[in-house]
Structure 1
Amino acid sequence: MSVDIDEAEVKLLQENLNKLRSECETSNIHLKKISTEINNIESALNPIMNLTSTKRTAVANLESTLDELNKLGRISAIVLAERRIIDDTTGNVPVKRIIDSIDKLSAALQDAAIFKSIGNTTVPNNISALIEKGSKRVGAVLQRAADANDPETVTLCLSFFGKSGISYYIDARTRHVSYEIEQIINSTSQKVTDLLACAQTLIRRSASEREILRALNLDIDPDEIAARIIEPAFNILYKAISANLSKARTNIRTNGLYAVQAHAAITYLTDSFHSALKNSTGFTHELVRVQGDAAKMAYDAFPASILYFNEKLAAHTNFPSDAGVVEPCSELVSRLRAISSVKAAAIIVAEELGVDNIIPSPPPAYMSTFTTRNLLRNKKIRTGAACLSTHLMDLIECFVVNLINAGSTHYKKPQMAGLLGLTNIAAIERAADSHPDLSELISAEDTSRERLQKLKSFSAGKFVQRWKELGQSLMETRPMSGSSSLSSKDREIIKEKFKYFNATLDELVAEHKALRITDSALRKQINNEIGFIAPIYYRFYDKYAEGSFSKHAYKYVKYNKKQIDEILSAL
């Protein structure tokens, strides 16, 4: 029987499919078994796998912790090393090393930022505190360097701080300049503050501060910073100027030097500020407000001072019994020394006034008694120092002439007023000799010494007035008779002359020896003034001592020439 090929193929295919199905079912059964076994294995492995993951996490955490500990160790080592630098108090650590420490700590602070992320702020805070402390130390170094004008260190410190560090610099320089002005103002070596010296110092500082700032080559305005630096010092000086003017207003006759100082300082500042500092308008504006008042009082001060002593001596009644130094003399010497202590300011004002305006107008009454100002007639006094010297001599002359005039009224014996003048002139000279500036100032006008000598002669003339009268008594006021022998009238005149001379000489010698003249130079000067009596007596003695006027000449001729010499030498 024949088989259809297609049918046979289908049948064969069917058999193969059945066989394949059977194999698949068998495979499926095996796969299920494998799956079950795999599930069983996974169930068994899960605990082990979980444990391994935990260990891996722990290891990772441990490694991270070790890294942090290592980083903390490195940071701690840096902090420990740099803390020694920052905390050093020996002063031996250069500022550059301190700045290096701060730079290292700043880098360490960045590394320590990780600690903040995990809630640990102790480490960063400690580093920040150390950096702040180091910065303050650099600031202190900057201030000291600024105070000592050490541009190299200042530049180094400012390069560390940048513009923010300029406040340290300003603070230091402000204290330095202010202290310098305060030292002059608070000086106890003189009664009147040398405001002109303060003004000159302030102007020098203004210019030098500007130049120092320029040399630093910072991105700042040197004039603006310099103005900020000197402003407190200017305020201190301006306060002192105002105080001086207030004192002068209370009594220009006794406090005139305060106005002289204020005027000189104001004039100097207003003339010099702009060249020293561009930003000076605010300063000069304050000065201009008081400039006119200061000038008027300063110009009044010199004549007012003379009027003060003129009135003081005219009213003086407390005279020492020995014609010694009076209390107003000490006040005069103090005034003269005060003027010389601020002579630069006084010279400025004296020159502005001129020699004719430093004396009161109208002239004081004492000048009608005696004055040496005639020596200045037709003399051109050009310098301020010479004008001031003239004022000092005017003061001395006012004092001496008024003192002698008042003494002539007080003392019964005229020589006491003269001695009073000589004693006080000697005291003034001693004071001047012990004060070189005053002595130099008095001598600045070439007639001053001559004026002083004339004052001495005026005083000495008062002292030797009775000695002059004694000498005059020996002078022959009329010619004797022309015959070879004296007339009886002539003889009586000669007898009376010898008698008067003897008695008066004894009286004057006794009075002179009773004087307490402790100044050896003054005693010698006075004795020299008296010495003129000897040659007058010698001439009279030589002419009549042999007895031509009397048979008993020894009764009238008490002293020979040798005895007169001995008497005068013993005074």
Structure 2
Amino acid sequence: MAVGIAGNNRHAADEEARAEVDVLNSRLEKTTQLTKKIQACLGRLEATGKSVRDVAGPLNGETKKLQVLGHNIDHVLSAIERLRQPVDSKNDEEQTIRMGPDKAGLTNYLASIKRLTKAVNDMKASNLRSTQQTVADLQRLIKLGNSQLESSFDRILRAETPRSIEPLHYITKNQQFPLLSQDKINRLGLMNSYISGASRQAGTEPPVAQIYAEVRSQYLAASLANLAAASTNTAKKQNPDAIYRAGASGIGTYAQAMEGLFLAEYENICIIFVREEWGPVLQATCQTALVELSRTLRELNNHIKAHINTDCYLAYEIVEIISGLSNNLESRTGELKSSLAACLKPVRETAKASLAELLEETKRKASGLQSLPADGSPVPIISDTMQRLQSMVGFLRPISSIMVSLGHGGWNSPGSSRGGNDAIPSLSSFDIGADGKEIFAHYCADTVEGLMVSLESRAKVLLAKRPTIGVFLANSVTIIERMIIDSDLQPLMESRIQILEQWRKKASALYVQETCRNLSVHLMDVIHTSRGQRPTSGQGAVDSASIMKGLSSKDKENIKAKFLAFNQGFDEMVKTHKQYSMEREVRQRFAKGMQSVIEPMYGRFWDRYHEIDKGKGKYVKYDKSSIAAIFLTLY
């Protein structure tokens, strides 16, 4: 029984295992079937996805193309909208432009032109054929606007510019010359700023600068016209031989007015125009006035050349005044120096040439003298020449600049006064160590020397006696020296006045030596005595009586003749000396010179031989004290 039970248990377990296997097999079969279904679904799905891709791919590309096209369309619409704006606003802008800057208001007017200009530039950049007509219309409108701006600039400027003003009013009251009114000058500046910018972009010359120069140049020239005429009229003296005096011409006031007007004009220009335009506009504006200045100076130059002896000083004054004007304007504006130098050149050349001409004229006049005073009196050319040099000192500043340009002795060089350089000399064009005053002193010394040489040459021809020549030269030297010492020439010629000492010695030699030689021959004695009777010099007082005793009758007669000849010659000398016309200094110098020679010789002769007539005075007319007294009367 137990075995059966065990068998039954195993059979039940096997059945249970088989049942489980059957269940597993059934599930496996279902899994296989499910897998096949899934594979079939995947196959169908793959086939469907391929179809979807085949369909969706082109659709996606077209979608992207449509997106790009839509974006481009949006841009085109936006551009068209922008292009439509100026077209749409054309009527408004045209209305503003046609109103003009005065009615529309300058700020609104300029803004309208700028908007139109920007619209034209945008249309040109789009390069659309459909906008070409609109561009042309807007360009015509812009051109009209610019033209009206220029007309408005011209109209405002002319309304603000008087025909002329009276410069003397501002000079005498020490007032600044008038400027354009502040509101108008600011308005003109705004106009110029736009117009000049537009012109620079177009590569053309700004028309506003030309308008300004045309209007204001007429005003400057008209304001200066009367002073220009006065400058030439005042140069024409009633007495043609009168020496020109500093300040007698109106050229100083003319230059002062020109400086004031030009500087005021420069202030206007600096406000209206940009920096790079200041110089050219000032040059153009002042040109008409400078042409008139050039004409005036040429007329004055012709007058000076025709009256060089009396009016050379006017040339020096003009050089100083116009050079000062040039320097002042150049320091304030940086302009007009070369223009003023060109105007001044003829007068400056005449001023340089005058130095040599006056020196040669002095020599020529002195050498051409047809007669000289028989009493040795000085001639007028001496004082005339020295007065001319004295007058030159009053114009020392311009003369110094001319002297430096000539250099030492430059007035003696042919063509030294000619030059091709129009520039007004500056320090850089000269020798740094040159001293114009020292060179002028050299010129004065050359003038004095040339005068004295010429006078001596004529005196030798026209005056027969050497003493008369000596008196004439001594008088000339004394007058020259006096006119140097008593004037502003003295400090200038202090180091060169020694040239007169040479002429003073020459004059003394001609007069004193010649006169003393004629007298001293009568005081020379050659006495033949025995050795025992000859008096020994240096042994006390001379005993005239004992000397007389030792003389032969022939020697005594010779001594008597010498006394008589001396008496006659001395009396003649005294008479002649008093008849000469001598300057006080000359008379004293000559008298002292003769006394220093004759008195010692006569004293020696008198000591030895005065006993010849035993004090009767028949032969010995003068003793030592009386002859000394007579010399004192000659001083």
TM-score normalised by L of structure 1: 0.54
Question: Which residue number corresponds to residue 460 of structure 2?
Answer: 408
Match for 1:158: what amino acid? S
Residue of structure 2 in register with 1:238 after alignment: 294
Give the structure with higher Rg (CA): 2
Choose the corresponding residue for 2:601, options 515, 531, 540: 540
Q: Quick one: which of 584, 587, 603 aligns to 1:523?
A: 584
Once residues 264 and 143 of structure 1 are traced to their aligned partners in structure 2, the CA distance between those partners, rounded to angstroms, is 21
Instruction: Out of 558-567 and 279-288, give the one that drifted further.
Output: 279-288
In the aligned structure 2, how far is the partner of 1:272 from the partner of 1:255? 26
1:251-290 C-alpha deviation (Å, 9 max, x unpaired): 98998767767777777777775444344278247448x5
The Cα of 1:216 is off from its aligned counterpart by 8.3
Tell me which amino acid in the other structure corresponds to 2:181.
Answer: L
Q: How does 1:283-302 map to 2 (within 5 A)?
A: 283-284=339-340, 286-287=342-343, 290=345, 295=349, 299-302=352-355
Q: Distance in 1 between matches of 2:282 and 2:326?
A: 17
Q: Secondary structure at the match of 1:566?
A: helix
CA distance, structure 2, for counterparts of residue 228 and residue 201 of structure 1: 23
CA distance in structure 2 between the aligned counterparts of 1:284 and 1:141, rounded to whole angstroms: 23
Counterpart of 1:283 in structure 2: which amino acid?
S
Answer yes or no: is the 8 Å Cα contact 1:474–1:537 preserved in 2.
no
Equivalent in 474, 498, 513 of residue 563 of structure 2: 498
Please identify, of 471-480 and 495-504, the stretch whose mean Cα deviation from structure 2 is larger.
471-480
- Verify the 8 A CA contact 1:302 1:358 in the aligned structure 2: yes
Relative distance call for 1:299 and 1:560 in structure 2 (3 A) is same
Return 418-427 or 488-497, whichever deviates more: 488-497
Deviation digits for residues 35-86 of structure 1 (CA, Å, limit 9, x no counterpart): xxxxxxxxxxxxxxxxxxxxxxxxxxxxxxxxxxxxxxxxxxxxxxxxxxxx
Change (3 A) 1:240 1:448: farther
Q: Supply the AA of the counterpart residue of 2:333.
A: L
Q: Report the equivalent of 2:385.
A: 332
1:400 alignment partner AA: M
2:604 corresponds to 1:560: no
Call closer, same or farther: CA 1:387–1:201 in 2, change over 3 Å: farther
Change (3 A) 1:174 1:470: farther
Tell me the amino acid that sits aligned with residue 388 of structure 2: R
Give the SS at the match of 1:567: helix
Matching residue within 361, 371, 374 for 1:318: 371
Q: What amino acid is aligned across from residue 239 of structure 1 in structure 2?
A: R
1:417 maps to 2:482: no
Per-residue deviation, 1:508: 1.6
* TM-score w.r.t. length of structure 2: 0.49
Q: What residue ranges of structure 1 are gaps of 5+ in the alignment?
A: 1-134, 362-380
Cα–Cα, structure 1 residues 168 and 227, in superposed 2: closer, same or farther, change >3 Å?
Answer: closer
Q: Which amino acid aligns with 1:447?
A: S
Percent identity reads 15
Contact 1:200 1:268 in 2 (8 A): no
CA distance in 2, matches of 1:136, 1:266: 27
Where in structure 2 are there 5+ consecutive unaligned residues? 1-159, 189-211, 415-432, 536-546
Check whether the contact 2:317–2:398 (CA below 8 A) recurs between aligned residues: yes
Counterpart in 1 of 2:406? Answer: 353
Distance change >3 Å, CA 146–CA 444, structure 1 → 2: closer
Shift of 1:385: 1.2
C-alpha distance 433-229 of structure 1, shift in aligned 2 (>3 A): farther
**1:148 equivalent in alignment to 2:155:** no
Cα deviation, residue 452, structure 1:
2.7
* Gap change, CA 1:427 and 1:239, over 3 Å in 2: farther
Distance 1:160 1:565 in 2: 95
- The CA RMSD measured in Å over matched residues stands at 5.3
Matches within 5 A, 1:137-536: 148-150=173-175, 158-159=181-182, 175=223, 179=227, 182=230, 186=234, 191-192=243-244, 219-220=271-272, 234-235=290-291, 237-243=293-299, 245-246=301-302, 274-280=330-336, 283-284=339-340, 286-287=342-343, 290=345, 295=349, 299-329=352-382, 331-359=384-412, 382-429=434-481, 431-432=483-484, 439-441=487-489, 443-470=491-518, 472-473=520-521, 476=524, 483-484=534-535, 485=547, 488=552, 494-516=559-581, 522-536=583-597
Specify whether residues 136 and 568 from structure 1 end up closer, same or farther in structure 2 by C-alpha distance, changes over 3 A only.
same
Q: 1:180 to 1:561 in 2, by over 3 A?
A: farther
Q: State the distance in 2 between where 1:179 and 1:204 align.
A: 10
Aligned to 1:32: none
What is the aligned length? 404
